[in-house]
Amino acid sequence: MTSLPQVLRGSKKLGPVVVVIVILAVLILVPLALVLLASISTSVPRPGNISLGDLTLGNFALLATPEGLTALLNSIEVGIGSAVLALIIGSFLAFLCARTNAPLRKFLFFVGMAPMFIPALVGALAWSLIASPSAGFLNIALRDVGLNLTINIYSMPGLIFVLGIFYAPYGFLLVHSSMAMMNADLEEAATVHGAPLRTMLRTITLPLALPALLGAGILVFALTMENFPVAQVIGNPGKVDTLPTFIYRLMSATPARSNEAASIAVILTIGLLVITAAQQRVISRRKFTTVTGKGARPRQVPLGKLRWPLTIVALIYFLVAVVMPMAALLVAAMQSTPFVSTISQLFQAGALSFRELGNTIMSDGFQLGLRNSIVVAVLAAAVGTALSFIAAYIRYRTKARLRAVVEFIAMTPLAVPAIVMGIGLLWAWLLIPLPVYGTIFVLVIACVAVFFPQGYRGVSASILQLDQDLEDSAVMLGASRARAIGTVTLPLMRVGLTSTFLLFLMLSMRELSAVLFLFTSHTQILSVVVFEQFENGQSQAAAAISVLYVMVIAIVAVIAQTVGSRERSPRLPNPMKGTQE
């Protein structure tokens, strides 16, 4: 039987948990619920206008139209194509880097990572400058040398190509860690039992890396399928519609076809949900197939004559994914005349100047965007990290009955496309009677909500590594729980919390899709400024801001790297090891 004191004690303990659940629900669940509601309604959720009176499934009929069906099939095609391309590039680089004697291996690791610092939007912009059928630099060059050949990036293959090269780092990182951490003993056992190198790679190495490959493939599929900026910049001119661009067109039509947009958003979310569930299964199975980081370095595969040719292939990827895009942006930003008919024109005196770049730096638009970007990113990082810690603490350090709910809500955005979350947040914060809509805070909220799973996971991993006894012993010595957390747990988690902060910071700096429907002219962030300029046909201004945007991100990345490496983990005690005094 439950006595009254027990009930009272129970509710006292539950209080803070309920508060956190309410905060997370407002942040994450309410927007989604509104999208769902809008998808089966004939009106948009507005203050004083939420009714369940006019429910309909009619909005979903849009999917059956040729328009809707094409967008759906295109999305799937884009997802599969770019996942395959990204995985081929990523695992090729990872194998070269982690397991062979290829030259320049250290640099190749950088090559594998580097495109991550170029937001997909900027990458797409750059490739449209390089290979747009009429004015792309590459096509001008082809015409210069007299080849009757036009490379049209504004096409399905073009879209797959751009997404593939800019999402290859995800494949690279996952596969690389799996290959680098592979237990050398397992492979050596195969060699000892008579397997030649080729057989060993086929029967041991590949099967062991397979879960990582599969997990990475599904992840890239999910990310590219919901990607909006690239699909908009590359796909839209070529009339290749995907679900995210379709949603955007419906939302920005006049009058806005919001309910139909919501129904497409629901379809996209369901698709992503299924994919994410599949990916989580693959990843969780991976736990017992991949092996510990202990033991000797895995064996190097001698490449022989192929050493240099394979490295050159890797360098070509670097050229395509980093050098050419950045060069194209720079040239476009510095062109003194917007129209170029031959490449040689660019080498004439006065053809290139820093004037436009300088103007851009001084322009109000850029400075406002920069300021807003930094404010949004820093606030989102601070709020996101704090909230992630609280959620992870409840989940892993308390016995609150609702702790599973906390984790469920925290992980939900993983299966929600950023653009869908953006629509939901728009409606949610128009409804919620707090003066947040139209301010910079709604952008902060969007970044926290969209990236919460990543932050929550990072902090959880760090909290799980910390022995609970460390905090409990402070409480046993008389400290209150809050003081124990402040003096013991937080200082010991400094490294994990710092890297979560930096992760939020980097992701928020790059985000476009989530804030697409939330900014005003005063709260534009850099990604929005670039996108707006491009949409308005100001490609030179867009290019100039892009160059500066990438530089800002690079500076943040360097700072993050420096801080991250300085924050070295304190050596945790290992009682199993200490034997002699």
Of the pair 254, 580, the CB lying nearest another protein is at: 580
Quick one: which of 85, 246, 91 has its CA closest to 157? 85
Separation CA 375–CA 377 (nearest Å): 6
Nearer to another protein, 364 or 469 (CB): 469
Q: Closest Cα to residue 40, out of 62, 58, 63, 53?
A: 58
When asked if residue 65 is in the footprint of another protein (CB under 8 A), the reply is: no
Q: Exactly one of 142, 470, 495, 552 binds another protein (CB under 8 A); which one?
A: 470
Binding mask 284-323 for another protein (x = CB under 8 A): ----------------------------------------
- The two counts, helices (H) then strands (E), for the chain are 26, 0
439: buried, middle or exposed (CB in 10 Å: 19+, 13-18, 0-12)?
Answer: middle
Position 8 contacts another protein (CB under 8 A) = yes
Two structure tokens written together for 324: 């050419």
Q: Token pair of 177, please?
A: 């860690």
Inter-helix orientation angle 206-225/156-180, to 10°: 140
Q: Which region, judged by CB under 8 A, interacts with another protein, from 88-96, 150-158, 188-196, 570-578? A: 570-578
Q: Which residue pairs from 561-569 have beta carbons closer than 8 angstroms and sit at least 24 positions apart in sequence?
A: 563/498, 563/502, 564/498, 564/499, 564/502, 567/494, 567/495, 567/498, 568/495, 569/495
Mark the segment that binds another protein (CB under 8 A) among 170-178, 317-325, 403-411, 466-474. Answer: 466-474
Given the complex with another protein, which of 287 and 568 has the nearer CB atom?
568
417 cis-preceded (ω within 30 degrees of 0): no
> Residues 67-106: x/- map of binding to another protein (CB under 8 A)?
----------------------------------------
The b/e string for 525-564 (b: 16+ C-beta within 10 A; e otherwise) is bbbbbbbbbbeeeebbbbbbbbbbbbebbeebbeebeeee
Quick one: which segment of 38-46, 337-345, 462-470, 539-547 binds another protein (CB under 8 A)? 462-470
Instruction: Round to whole Å and give the CA distance between 8 and 498.
Output: 38
Give the range of 116-124, 170-178, 388-396, 571-579 binding another protein by CB under 8 A. 571-579
Shortest Cβ 396–another protein spacing (Å): 15
Closer to another protein at the Cβ: 56 or 480? 480
Nearest to 93 by CA among 148, 174, 27, 17: 174
Min dist. Cβ of residue 501 to another protein (A): 19
Q: Please report where in the chains the tokens 């490294």 appear, as a residue.
A: 495
CB of residue 574 vs another protein: minimum separation in angstroms?
A: 8
User: Min. distance of Cβ 347 from another protein in angstroms?
Assistant: 59
Q: Which positions from 476 to 495 touch another protein by CB under 8 A, shown as an x/- string?
A: xxxxxx-x---xx--xx---
Three-state secondary-structure class, residue 36: helix
Of the two residues 200 and 488, which places its CB atom closer to another protein in the complex? 488
- Should residue 570 be labelled a site residue for another protein when binding is judged by CB under 8 A? yes
User: How many residues touch another protein (CB under 8 A)?
Assistant: 35
Is 578 among the residues that bind another protein (CB under 8 A)? yes
CB of 492 to another protein, least distance (A): 6
CB atoms within 10 A of CB 512: 24
Q: Which helix (H) or strand (E) holds 159?
A: helix 156-180
Residue 6 in the binding site for another protein (CB under 8 A)? yes
By the rule CB under 8 A, 579 interacts with another protein: yes
Positions touching another protein (CB under 8 A) are 3-6, 8-9, 467, 469-470, 472-481, 483, 487-488, 491-492, 570-573, 575-581
